[in-house]
């Protein structure tokens, strides 16, 4: 098949049938593909009129067949591109947000938000954890590491990918054993399991929300539900001066890290290794109440097929939490399900409040920290939603 008119790029080419409103281009939008193009390649993309459209990562095995990385096809140089994009991302965190003054754990690259689709990079001290969501980015690992090493000379790299991503994208990482490091966030110390912990080992996206919890805590009884390794609970006790903190977490390994983190920070936190739903039911049955409850559950909607059931779980969890909050107490409730939009999350909270027969006042809404930027053409990047409430 003939190449698009005017194609002189050394990259293999792909011609579109239709354009995309975002950087993600699906199979149905593609017309013709260069026979030389291989899965994971960088490719030159043209529109249906043969006009240059940009440069993308190509994977015919993936539902997202093209991930557009740059609109400037004429001057594209892969080494310079990755160096420039990563330098710009680091500049935001170091020079503008000045995150190094508060923590040595933060997100360096946030996928589409930093113009690097299919890639997450989190910093934990000298460790930089690269999480891949696309075969194309996985194949660019050496370039990405060179760019990062020029800015973090002492960097030690680890690679992560979910088994789902590996299956869908067609690559496999070498298995690695547990790898631990210690980080500090606003004066609170955390042990992080880099190799097998959830996400890349820690939830950097909740950093600002953990800080915002502090003024609600002095002298109060706090329940941190789905606490993972104790983020909100440790802030409540160490920085907030909470009278009492209980951390509830189902994952036994996370519970052990939560206990270790409490010892690291020389604070007393009760850690309960149990499923949140029966625990909250039992507390309600025992007429146990709390001044502040934090709900930060795992992603309860992982696919469109699981939307209805997952949304009901958000309703049920919030209803149970509302039943154990003292009058005048506070609820901080979060969702990290990208498929659950703000209005749907608010409606789930309204349903829960009605079912629990509690009057709920929304004080504010928040999301991930600014080291998790959202591309204007990819609003699904605003996955984290947090609602701050007073309960009456």
Packing angle between helix 342-356 and helix 307-322, nearest 10 degrees?
Answer: 50
pLDDT digits (tens, 9 = 90+) for 211-255: 999 999 999 999 999 999 999 999 999 999 999 999 999 999 999
Question: Taking 80 as the threshold, does the pLDDT of residue 333 lie above it?
Answer: yes
Q: Give percent of the chain with pLDDT exceeding 70.
A: 99
**Residues in CB range of 310: below 8 A, 6 or more apart:** 300, 301, 302, 337, 339, 340
Distance CA 356, CA 293 (A): 15
Stretch 192-221: mean pLDDT: 95
User: Which residues fall within 8 angstroms of residue 298, CB to CB, at 6 or more apart?
Assistant: 198, 226, 336
Tokens representing 237 are: 């006790």
Question: Residue 297 pLDDT > 90, yes or no?
Answer: yes
**2 pLDDT tier (thresholds 50, 70, 90):** confident
pLDDT number for residue 66 = 97
Q: What is the pLDDT of residue 322?
A: 98
| Residue 293: partners with Cβ closer than 8 Å, 6 or more residues away | 222, 223, 225, 321, 324, 325, 329, 330, 331, 332
Determine the pLDDT at residue 286: 97
Q: Which of 177-186, 329-338, 342-351 has the weakest average pLDDT? A: 177-186
Query: What pLDDT is recorded for position 387?
Result: 98
- Per-residue model confidence (pLDDT) at position 25: 95
For 12-33, the pLDDT digits (tens) are 999 999 988 889 999 999 999 9
Cα gap 121→129, rounded to integer Å: 6
pLDDT given for residue 122 in this prediction: 97
Task: Give yes or no for a contact between 299 and 336, defined as CB atoms under 8 angstroms apart.
Answer: yes
| Per-residue b or e along 353-389, where b marks 16 or more CB atoms closer than 10 Å to that residue's CB | beebebebeeeeebbbbbbbbbbeebeebbbbbbbbb
pLDDT at 198: 86
Over the chain, what is the mean pLDDT?
96
pLDDT at 195 (0 to 100): 87
Alpha-carbon distance of 247 to 252, in angstroms, equals 12
The answer to whether 62 and 137 are in contact (CB under 8 A) is: no
Considering only CA atoms, give the Rg of the chain.
23
**Of 130, 110, 116, 261, nearest to 184 (Cα)?**
261
Residue with the two structure tokens 């009057």 = 359
Per-residue pLDDT reduced to its tens digit, 58-100: 999 998 999 999 999 999 999 999 999 999 999 999 999 999 9
Flag whether pLDDT at 1 surpasses 80: no
Give the integer Cα–Cα distance in Å for 388 and 392: 13
In this prediction, residue 103 has a pLDDT band, given cuts at 50, 70 and 90, of very high
Q: How far is CA 124 from CA 70, 144, 264, 278, in A?
A: 29, 17, 17, 34
pLDDT digits (tens, 9 = 90+) for 153-187: 999 999 999 999 999 999 999 877 668 999 999 99
Half-sphere CA count of 359, side-chain side, radius 13 A: 3
pLDDT at 191: 96
pLDDT at 389: 98
| pLDDT score recorded for residue 292 | 98
Q: Label the pairing between strands 52-58 and 42-46.
A: antiparallel
Domains of the chain: 13-70 (2.30.130.10), 78-169 (3.30.750.80), 203-391 (3.40.50.150)
Q: Which residues of 316-338 are buried (b: 16+ CB within 10 A; e: fewer)?
A: bbbbbbbbbbeeebbbbbbbbbb
């Amino acid at each position: 098949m003939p190449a698009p008119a005017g194609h002189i790029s050394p990259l293999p080419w792909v011609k579109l049938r239709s354009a995309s409103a975002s950087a993600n281009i699906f199979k149905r939008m593609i017309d013709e593909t260069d026979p030389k193009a291989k899965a994971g390649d960088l490719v030159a993309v043209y529109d249906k009129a043969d006009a240059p459209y940009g440069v993308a990562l190509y994977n015919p095995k993936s539902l997202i067949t093209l991930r557009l990385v740059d609109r400037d096809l004429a001057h594209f140089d892969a080494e310079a591109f990755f160096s420039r994009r990563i330098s710009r991302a680091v500049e935001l965190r170091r020079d503008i947000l000045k995150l190094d003054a508060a923590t040595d754990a933060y997100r360096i690259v946030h996928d589409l938000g930093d113009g690097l689709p299919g890639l997450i990079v989190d910093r934990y001290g000298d460790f930089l954890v690269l999480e891949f969501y696309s075969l194309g980015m996985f194949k660019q690992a050496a370039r990405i590491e060179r760019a990062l090493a020029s800015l973090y000379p002492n960097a030690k790299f680890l690679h992560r990918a979910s088994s789902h991503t590996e299956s869908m994208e067609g690559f496999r990482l070498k298995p690695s054993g547990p790898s631990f490091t210690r980080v500090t966030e606003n004066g609170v110390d955390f042990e992080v399991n880099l190799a097998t912990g959830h996400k890349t080992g820690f939830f950097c996206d909740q950093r600002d929300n953990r800080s915002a919890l502090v003024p609600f805590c002095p002298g109060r009884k706090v329940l941190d539900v789905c606490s993972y390794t104790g983020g909100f609970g440790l802030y409540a006790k160490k920085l907030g001066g909470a009278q009492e903190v209980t951390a509830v977490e189902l994952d036994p390994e996370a519970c052990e890290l939560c206990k270790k983190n409490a010892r690291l920070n020389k604070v007393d936190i009760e850690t309960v290794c149990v499923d949140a739903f029966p625990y909250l039911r039992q507390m309600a049955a025992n007429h146990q109440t709390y001044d502040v409850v934090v709900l930060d559950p795992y992603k309860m909607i992982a696919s469109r097929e699981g939307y209805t059931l997952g949304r009901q779980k958000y309703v049920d969890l919030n209803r149970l939490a509302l039943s154990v909050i003292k009058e005048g107490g506070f609820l901080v409730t979060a969702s990290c399900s990208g498929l659950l939009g703000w209005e749907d999350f608010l409606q789930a909270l309204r349903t829960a409040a009605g079912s629990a027969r509690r009057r709920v006042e929304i004080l504010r809404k928040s999301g991930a920290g600014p080291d998790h930027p959202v591309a204007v053409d990819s609003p699904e990047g605003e996955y984290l939603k947090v609602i701050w409430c007073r309960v009456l």
